[in-house]
């Protein structure tokens, strides 16, 4: 299991999972330096290039399209303290929140047999200057900025918020994490 998946599972066991991941952490940042309040890239729905590790591009050839979405607010960094993932200029870092599932209804797609996946946690990202339209849970269309992030490609699959619940999209390389405890699973 990847390190950040283990941390999320452990946080869930201690009842902290939803506090950390819902972007309303009960812990004060000074007591837990890994809960950050910055502009961040959220890549858990991003498709990635398995050769370069660049994530956040759309790949029309295999039916997948996934972005690193950029938000402002609280997120969770696993590998680095917040001062190491602080944005500067056009550079942001990929950290985690469950904003895509809670605010936009993204569901977890499990792709265990994929050839490759990517770990984007704390990866360095460049803002693209472009936005995409997402529809939030209230039915409003929201323009969300995007970024391209450098992630670590590994062998094997995992769980992503990308792929739009279509198992055929598991052929793509997705940014993954341990998302078992999120209630919105693809059926």
**CA atoms of 163 and 108, how far apart (whole Å):** 9
Number of domains, the chain:
1
Residue 181 resides in a domain? no
pLDDT score recorded for residue 63: 52
Domain assignment present for 32: yes
- Report if residue 182 sits inside a domain: no
The mean-pLDDT minimum among 11-25, 57-71, 147-161 falls in 11-25
Q: Is 124 exposed, middle or buried (0-12, 13-18, 19+ CB in 10 A)?
A: middle
Residue 125 to residues 42, 61, 161: CA-CA distances in angstroms? 10, 24, 19
Residue 187 counted as domain residue: no
Kindly state whether residue 180 falls inside one of the protein's structural domains.
no
Q: Give me the domain span that covers residue 40.
A: 3-175
Report if residue 143 sits inside a domain: yes
The reply to whether 112 falls in a domain is yes
Taking residues 162-173, report their average pLDDT.
90
pLDDT tens digits, one per residue of 30-87: 444 589 999 999 999 999 999 999 999 875 645 567 899 999 999 999 889 999 999 9
Residue 137 and residue 93: Cα distance in Å, rounded? 26
């Amino acid at each position: 299991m990847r390190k950040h998946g283990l941390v999320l599972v452990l946080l869930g066991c201690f009842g902290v999972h939803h506090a950390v991941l819902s972007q309303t952490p009960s812990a004060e940042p000074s007591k837990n330096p890994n809960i950050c309040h910055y502009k961040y890239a959220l890549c858990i729905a991003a498709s990635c290039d398995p050769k370069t590790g660049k994530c956040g591009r759309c790949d029309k050839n295999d039916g997948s399209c996934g972005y690193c979405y950029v938000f402002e607010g609280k997120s969770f960094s696993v590998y680095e303290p917040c001062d190491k993932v602080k944005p500067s200029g056009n550079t942001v870092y990929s950290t985690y929140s469950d904003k895509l599932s809670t605010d936009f209804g993204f569901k977890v797609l499990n792709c265990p047999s994929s050839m490759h996946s990517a770990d984007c946690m704390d990866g360095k990202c460049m803002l693209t200057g472009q936005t995409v339209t997402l529809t939030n849970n209230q039915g409003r269309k929201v323009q969300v900025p995007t970024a391209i992030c450098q992630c670590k490609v590994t062998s094997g699959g995992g769980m992503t918020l990308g792929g739009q619940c279509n198992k055929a999209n598991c052929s793509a390389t997705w940014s993954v994490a341990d998302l078992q405890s999120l209630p919105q699973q693809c059926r």
